[in-house]
Amino acid sequence: MNVKLLAGVMLVVATGSACAADGQKARKAFRQMDINGDRALQFTELQAARATLFDRLDANRDGVLDEGEAKAALQRVREGGRLQMATAEGLETQARRMDANGDGRIARAEFAQFIPDRLLRADTNGDRTLSLPELKALRQR
């Protein structure tokens, strides 16, 4: 798997629907991810959303993301104008971290369990939950 392509796929989630520039879409995405309705996003809720996203990205349903699937995902993100710039080195590092077993492939469980650095930093109190104020601060960055 091309690490840069995989890193690009990671961006789909790292930029996050809940942090989208379009406020209405962001609110809808937030409500969908906030499974327990407490107006905060637990990391477990983010992981459930990532598992759902993986299922959409894994076009051939083989349980891993391949280069073709990564390219298709990146193209959809680019067409939607949601691709934010980031350093290739930083993305490659996160993609390597996402590949927990180091086999060069990203399985569903690895993709779902991974919490992007941007979201980890947004959790300022370390409770593994993103409160509305933390999400608003993230969105403003």
Give me the pLDDT at residue 13, please.
Answer: 46
Digit-by-digit pLDDT tens for the chain (141 residues) are 444 445 555 544 444 444 445 567 777 888 899 999 999 999 999 999 989 988 988 999 999 987 778 777 777 766 766 555 444 456 667 777 888 888 878 899 999 999 888 889 999 999 999 998 998 888 777
Rounded CA separation 76/83 (Å): 9
Please give the helix or strand (H or E) that residue 129 lies within, else none. Answer: strand 129-130
pLDDT at res. 91: 60
- Name the maximum alpha-carbon separation found in the chain: 39
Measure Cα distances from 63 to 59, 69, 95, 108 in Å: 9, 12, 17, 6
Partner residues linked to 107 by β-bridges: 64
Phi, psi of 85 (to 5 degrees): -75, 140
Residue 65, strand partner residues: 106
Q: Which pLDDT score, from 0 to 100, does residue 24 have?
A: 77
Q: Are residues 112 and 58 in contact, defined by beta-carbon separation less than 8 angstroms?
A: no
Length of the chain: 141
pLDDT at 22: 58
Q: How many degrees, rounded to 5, is the angle at CA 123 between CA 122 and CA 128?
A: 140
**What does DSSP assign to residue 62?**
S
Contact 81, 87 (CB under 8 A): no
